[in-house]
Structure 1
Amino acid sequence: MTDLLLIAWIFLIAGIVAVPIAAKFSLGSVLGYLLAGIVISPVLSYFNVDVVSIQHFAEFGVVMMLFIVGLELEPKALWSMRTQLLGLGGGQVILTTAVIMASIMMLGYAWQYALTIGLIFSLSSTAIVLQTLQENGLMKCDGGQASFSVLLTQDIAVIPMLALLPLLAMPELGDVGQITTQTAEHASGLSLVQGLASWQAALVTLAAIALVVVGGHYLTAPIFRFVALARLRELFTATALLFVIGIALTMSLVGLSPALGTFLAGVVLASSPYKHELESNIDPFKGLLLGLFFITVGAGINFALLSSRIADVLLLTLCLICIKIAVLAALGRFFGLQGSQRWLLAMGLAQAGEFGFVLLSFAVASHVLPQELADLALLVVTLSMLLSPLLFIMYQKIVAPKYVTPTSTREESFPQERKVIIAGAGRVGGLVDRILNAGGIKATVIDYNYKQLDAMQSIGVKHYFGDATRPDLLIAAGIEEASLLIVALDEQEQITKLVRYAMQTYPHLHVIARAVHRHHVYELYAYGCRDIIRETYDSTLRIGRSAFEALGIEREKAEQMVKIFADYDKELLRSLADVYEIGVPFEQNKAYVECVKRLIGEKEPEIIKAIQAVRERPRE
């Protein structure tokens, strides 16, 4: 027990110390974790810690991450990505494999070795790329969406790779007659499809997928309602973990990728009312496990082999990165990615991925690769992942600024006389900008959607490229002198992040924030914002007024009836915001529930009476 606590303490202190230091120098959390692993590697070796086993456990963070990503995608959105999934993603895997295979064969290796390493090196790191894109607010831009499509395709491609590798077994590496048995022992453990005929295995696999889809759609609400009876926060967390682990286990039992299974379940639950509850409970575990995974990558470097073959490893790693950048840049251009977005895709996915650890081990066990070659390839995978955050930094500091107008990334570029900043140029922010412009007020509008900015510029509207949640960009835009910040971003997390930062850092600033839903209003209110606009609220009131008119009520009366309700709802909202607790489901917040019951019991009869009085009032 003491040894376990000591090892856990070492991992925790390494992450806690390294990540803030990396953040201070704008290196990103991923590179911080990787460097932490390198620093503690000698300590772990001294205590004979099995880093590989910890790494396999920590890989579950990738499973959780894909589940959360799936929660943000509805099936319609996923279907709209089919061209990128099949064309861009599939093309990347095939072309990268072919180029790397040809390069390795030119070095004199057998084609089986070359194909195996080509397949493994064609994969990129889902954990590093998605984590970095989310941290930098790049997930929703064109390059971020293309990167996600390629990563998803790569995760799918792992399944046929696992089926193909045993067929490439080399007789000189072991007893070929025993390969199938050894491979099965290596790959399985418990399995529902082992020993079944192909058609039977296919039926069981389809049944497992159907169970995930149907179960996720119909069982989530009843289970959460049952758990809510206990009114214990920890049970909600346990239930969220139950869903994710159960789905991952189901996929593993039928030989599919757990990450793909949880992603599919996330897509199914994207429209569920419990979506945010699941996400908020799983997110802390995801973050911790991903941090642990990156630390193990840094700690798992074979420094003895690296020191003896440092030149070979560096050369191979640089060749791998250059090949993947070239392939991805060419495909990005072919599929319509322009400017910095194409280079975000190319440089972001230029590393090898965490599935490389699994596939290399599997290839050795299947007598496909010799141990010496696999160890060298493992170093290339690890080093390329270690260099990945540096490529993102190069993209942000060197590449991206070259593809925007010079006036969009420098402090002196922003108009100094403007006192209004609008974060987001989409369907809300863009319209607000037009309204203010009509009133003679010029605002500085910041958005990260490259195509949106190009489209607006083509009709003579000038907006600025950048992530509005970045403090340095806000300073460059003049937030220290601004009097008004309008937060019109699309993502709830981004809105909350920007509002919290602005309210805490610039108390003089008036902040108008777009809220996604009612509980988001409470959250923004808790951070000090008092000018909050629910994105569908005004349109809902107008629909209510139109409904009254359609039922024969005069327009003036309909407007008064709706105004009475709106005033009551605003009073209710303010009262409930005072007792709302961030991160606590409202059904577990006794003060909140009691306040709702009291206000509805006291006020609603009065409101109904007042509205009825207006309706029954005779015409003047």
Structure 2
Amino acid sequence: MADAVSHASYLPPILTFCTGAVIAVPLFRKLGLSAVLGYLAAGVVIGPSLLGVIKDPDAIRGTAEIGVVLLLFLVGLELQPSRLYSMRRDILGSGLAQMAVSATVIGLVGWRFGLSVGGAIAVGVALALSATSIALQLLEERGDSNETYGRRTFSILLFQDIAIAPVLALLPLLATTGAESGSAMRALASFGIAIAAVVAIVFAGRYLLNPFFRILANSGAKEVMTAAALLIVLGAALLMEHVGLSMAMGAFLAGLMLADSHFRHELEADIEPFRGVLLGLFFMAVGMSLDLKLVVENALLLAIAVPLLVLFKIAVVASILRASCSSTLEAIRAGALLSPAGEFAFVLLPLGVAHGLLNPQQAAIVTALAAISMLLGPIVAKLIDNVLLARITPETMDEDFDGVGDSQVMVIGFGRFGQVVTQALLLQHVNITVIDSDVEQIRAAARFGFKVYYGDGMRLDVLRAAGAGKARVICICVDDKNAALRILEMVKSEFPNVRVHARAFDRIHAIDLMKADVDYQMRETFESALGFGRVTLEAVGLTRDEADLVIDHVRDRDAQRMEIQFNEGIAAALNRVPRVTPEPLVKPKGKSKALTAETQEVIEDGGAEVAVGGVGEPER
């Protein structure tokens, strides 16, 4: 009974977190604000500063920081070399300039206010970073991820996320500045061990992870893939922490090593639910750690510092993007999105305290400044966005928008049908994402010159992770009729603006797809059979034009029949038997002749479902 009581003691905090989340997050989303703000506000309310339901926020911080670890792993997964190269100008140019200018100015201000050099650097970098989760969520809510300012915002965020890794390695070295030579030597030795651990992770990711996940995928156990993903992420994080670096850095490296993996989207879909829940818990922990008494005591300082920080970061980003030929509109909108302090400020500042760069009082004030900026920043971004958009005309927006770029097509299923479909798309250099859950098909795809990602196309989280919402066309090429219908219904429900093309197995399946509102369907053997028939007509003496005319006539008559069957139903005419009997589209000139006595007997017995000669396949 004592064990039951001890287990039950974990339930009140869990119920408290869940209650705070389900009340605060929908409320803030209803107000048009970010879910992150809801988590922060819920943490403030249930924390020791107000209701005091949770007495010790530090007790859950270790668990909550796993959310940041998983976030950085997903960031690493997004950093494919080809994508980085195409965005190199914005990443290395705008991203580096933003970090350098913001961190330098903020650090100098901190130094003038009495911080040590190491502390000023830590504070400058912490506040120069932006909130990735807030910015990306606002872009997604606006549907502006593919807008010019959205892509440049993402580029700056990418640079910031890349910069976190060396910053995490830099903080321990800053703590040794001015120390005795023995301490410096120990720091350098620790740094060498850390580099060796990084090399080990890179080696494992390059040569071991893909074969490892391939073996697991062949087992067919989806839950094992999820367990393996968590094992890789948390294992790399623990290794980095053991050698003196951050868990987040280890997760970042693990994600980076898997960015080109065929299993990338499946891993992203498996990790995403854990990331969402734990990152929400992390923000609640940040809110709980906000000392309202300290905020009140330093109210004047914070009331001045927070707006100045937000406006300063907007000005820096807007100036940099404006200098790089962005329009004033998109430069200001990007700056507004990047104005709040980032999630990693709450990781860097405690590290600064741990290494003696900051004292607890200084860290507490800067943490409060960062947290309040995350509350204020999205509100300012929304106000600026409303003002700017209210002052421009549709024509002005057209001038500022340079288009989404090349078409994007997602192909679900890379079997014999999907392979032929992608060949035509490749010839036109169309940007393609292919999803398949067959490991052998993934291996075969390597010969096609593009990447196929391991994942189950019937999973909504996999489709989202693979970018289904951003695709212009989704081609459903799976060879399972029920799976195709399920995918179609899911896509139409979740991504209503995406055009859907589907492979149909036979006539009944085609009609089912049409009833599910497919944009285009084709029976898998219909056009090939028509082509076969055309060549046969030529072989018996028709010219190419004559044969084409006949085939077009057959195609038109089939379309007419399909429309009638779609509108009037097919089951009632067949006594509700779910099968279609092959019928001629035109009236034959003569009667069929049975070539054997057995065939004649079958015809006379009313074998309406069997064609002359014994072929009884459903019409394709």
Q: Which moved more, 1:552-561 or 1:110-119?
A: 552-561
- Give the Cα–Cα distance (whole angstroms) in 1 for the partners of residues 340 and 404 of structure 2: 33
Q: Is the 8 A contact 2:295 2:368 kept in 1?
A: yes
Q: Deviations over 1:63-97 (max 9, x none)?
A: 43454456566532222122222112111111111
Q: 2:380 aligns with which of 381, 387, 391?
A: 391
Q: 2:317 aligns with which of 328, 353, 359?
A: 328
Where in structure 2 are the equivalents of 1:84-123 lying within 5 Å? 84-107=90-113, 110-123=116-129
Q: Deviations over 1:95-115 (max 9, x none)?
A: 111222333344465544433
Correspondence for 1:212 = 205
Correspondence for 1:419 = none
Correspondence for 1:530 = 517
- Give the Cα–Cα distance (whole angstroms) in 2 for the partners of residues 267 and 551 of structure 1: 50
1:390 Cα deviation after fit: 1.4
TM-score w.r.t. length of structure 1? 0.63
Secondary structure at the counterpart of residue 325 of structure 2: coil
- Give the Cα–Cα distance (whole angstroms) in 2 for the partners of residues 246 and 122 of structure 1: 29
Change (3 A) 1:77 1:425: closer
Change (3 A) 1:389 1:547: farther
CA RMSD of aligned residues (A): 5.0
Q: Is the 8 A contact 1:33 1:291 kept in 2?
A: yes
Q: Is the 8 A contact 1:165 1:363 kept in 2?
A: yes
Correspondence for 1:10 = 16
Change (3 A) 1:150 1:210: farther
Secondary structure at the counterpart of residue 375 of structure 1: helix
- Give the Cα–Cα distance (whole angstroms) in 1 for the partners of residues 490 and 306 of structure 2: 37
Where in structure 2 are the equivalents of 1:316-395 lying within 5 Å? 316-395=305-384
- Give the Cα–Cα distance (whole angstroms) in 2 for the partners of residues 516 and 348 of structure 1: 38
Change (3 A) 1:106 1:3: same
1:283 partner amino acid: E
- Give the Cα–Cα distance (whole angstroms) in 1 for the partners of residues 407 and 231 of structure 2: 38
Q: Deviations over 1:39-59 (max 9, x none)?
A: 212488745543235334333
Change (3 A) 1:543 1:212: farther
- Give the Cα–Cα distance (whole angstroms) in 1 for the partners of residues 102 and 17 of structure 2: 35
Change (3 A) 1:262 1:162: closer
Where does the alignment leave 5 or more consecutive residues of structure 2 unmatched?
Answer: 1-6, 409-468, 475-487, 563-577, 579-610
Q: Is the 8 A contact 1:72 1:267 kept in 2?
A: yes
Correspondence for 2:160 = 154
Secondary structure at the counterpart of residue 531 of structure 1: coil
Change (3 A) 1:368 1:42: closer
- Give the Cα–Cα distance (whole angstroms) in 1 for the partners of residues 224 and 549 of structure 2: 46
- Give the Cα–Cα distance (whole angstroms) in 1 for the partners of residues 319 and 229 of structure 2: 41
1:195 Cα deviation after fit: 4.5
Change (3 A) 1:109 1:59: closer
Q: 1:267 aligns with which of 251, 254, 259?
A: 259
2:42 partner amino acid: A
Q: Is the 8 A contact 2:39 2:284 kept in 1?
A: yes
Change (3 A) 1:177 1:131: farther
- Give the Cα–Cα distance (whole angstroms) in 2 for the partners of residues 19 and 151 of structure 1: 24
- Give the Cα–Cα distance (whole angstroms) in 2 for the partners of residues 399 and 496 of structure 1: 38
TM-score w.r.t. length of structure 2? 0.63
1:248 Cα deviation after fit: 4.0
Change (3 A) 1:394 1:540: farther
- Give the Cα–Cα distance (whole angstroms) in 1 for the partners of residues 326 and 204 of structure 2: 37
Q: Is the 8 A contact 1:67 1:259 kept in 2?
A: yes
1:309 Cα deviation after fit: 0.7
Q: Is the 8 A contact 2:202 2:257 kept in 1?
A: no
Correspondence for 2:270 = 281
1:264 partner amino acid: L
Correspondence for 2:131 = 125
Q: Is the 8 A contact 1:213 1:265 kept in 2?
A: yes
Change (3 A) 1:133 1:17: same
- Give the Cα–Cα distance (whole angstroms) in 1 for the partners of residues 299 and 205 of structure 2: 46
Q: Is the 8 A contact 2:76 2:252 kept in 1?
A: no
Change (3 A) 1:558 1:209: farther
1:130 partner amino acid: L
Q: Is the 8 A contact 1:19 1:29 kept in 2?
A: yes
- How many residues were matched structurally? 471
1:512 Cα deviation after fit: 8.0
Where does the alignment leave 5 or more consecutive residues of structure 1 unmatched?
Answer: 185-193, 410-423, 430-486, 504-510, 572-594, 596-605, 613-620
Correspondence for 2:170 = 164
Change (3 A) 1:219 1:558: farther
Q: Is the 8 A contact 1:489 1:514 kept in 2?
A: no
- Give the Cα–Cα distance (whole angstroms) in 2 for the partners of residues 109 and 4 of structure 1: 40
Correspondence for 1:138 = 144
Q: 2:61 aligns with which of 55, 58, 63?
A: 55
1:27 Cα deviation after fit: 1.8
- Give the Cα–Cα distance (whole angstroms) in 1 for the partners of residues 363 and 80 of structure 2: 40
Q: Is the 8 A contact 1:325 1:347 kept in 2?
A: yes
Where in structure 2 are the equivalents of 1:20-35 lying within 5 Å? 20-35=26-41
Correspondence for 1:223 = 216
Change (3 A) 1:65 1:142: farther
Q: 2:500 aligns with which of 514, 524, 532?
A: 514
The alignment status of 1:238 with 2:227, answered yes or no, reads yes
1:160 partner amino acid: P
Q: Which moved more, 1:32-41 or 1:541-550?
A: 541-550
Secondary structure at the counterpart of residue 267 of structure 1: coil
2:259 partner amino acid: V
Correspondence for 1:258 = 250
Q: Deviations over 1:482-525 (max 9, x none)?
A: xxxxx995487xx989842798xxxxxxx883359999xx9xx9
1:153 partner amino acid: F
- Give the Cα–Cα distance (whole angstroms) in 1 for the partners of residues 549 and 199 of structure 2: 54
Q: What percentage of residue pairs aligned between the two structures are identical?
A: 30
Q: Which moved more, 1:295-304 or 1:384-393?
A: 384-393
